[in-house]
A = this chain, B = another copy of it.
Amino acid sequence: MNALIVLAHPEPTSFNAALKDVAAATLRCLGHEVEVSDLYAEGFDPVEAPAHYTPRHDGHRFAPLAEQRHAAEAGCLPGEVQREIDRLQRADLVILQFPLWWHAQPAMLKGWFDRVFVSGGLYSSRMRYDRGYFRGKRALLSMTSGAPAGAFGPGARGGDIDTLLWPLHYSLHYMGFSLLPPFCAHGIQGHGYAYREESEFLSMLETYKADLAQRLVNLEETAPLIFPGWDDWDAEGQAKMRLTG
């Protein structure tokens, strides 16, 4: 199997980077090939903008999706976008490793969605969801958060993990990926801001690393999350009425 780990953290010695290393080592130990997109280290530009497109489809008015479709058809996608697409095409498993900032992925990773999942080339009105370009591939969100695990849940202070990850999960589902249950490491704070004693905090980090490795060892026995697909919608896209009797 080929795996791609997309890392979005500005600090090379961060716990996110450590989890990326654990995932890579575990997958390699299991005999898989591993590639890493280190978005910060590689200087990925997450801002979708006119300057990325040469030649322009429309030099007067910048319509992002029209430019994406044109560049995909003409074979002139921006270099770093094409590089990410090539990596995704080689991968059977994609892991997104990121810290939860403001109930979502950092701008760096949000822009990876905005720019890499190109209209036309990788999706269309007919090629999406369970008919998506990347169907047959699996994706796993691996996130860290600063709040303690006990602060999350429906109606809880930190919010519900399923709700806050819904936009990421559904976007990956849109692209055809099967979603594995997310891996969440909570209570991850910079040094000096931990809720706990330092030794207890460091021990928690080791436990999370072991948990992530175990998750990857058990990958084949892990059922994917369920999202609605074409059979669930009527012609307008609304959920079909389910007859119960």
Contact = CB atoms under 8 A, between A and B. Distances in A.
Interface of A: 10-11, 13-14, 40, 46-50, 61-66, 101-108, 110-111, 113-114, 117, 129, 146-148, 150-151, 153-159, 163-164, 166-168, 170-171, 174, 189-193, 228, 232-233, 236-239
Given A13-B61, A61-B191, 11 more contacts: A102-B174, A104-B104, A106-B114, A107-B114, A151-B236, A155-B228, A156-B239, A157-B233, A157-B238, A163-B166, A164-B167
A110 B48 CA distance: 13
Contacts of A154: 239
Given A13-B61, A193-B66, A110 B117 contact: no
Contacts of A48: 10, 101, 106-107
A151 B237 contact: yes
Given A49-B10, A49-B40, A228-B155, A110 B106 contact: yes
A174 B114 CA distance: 25
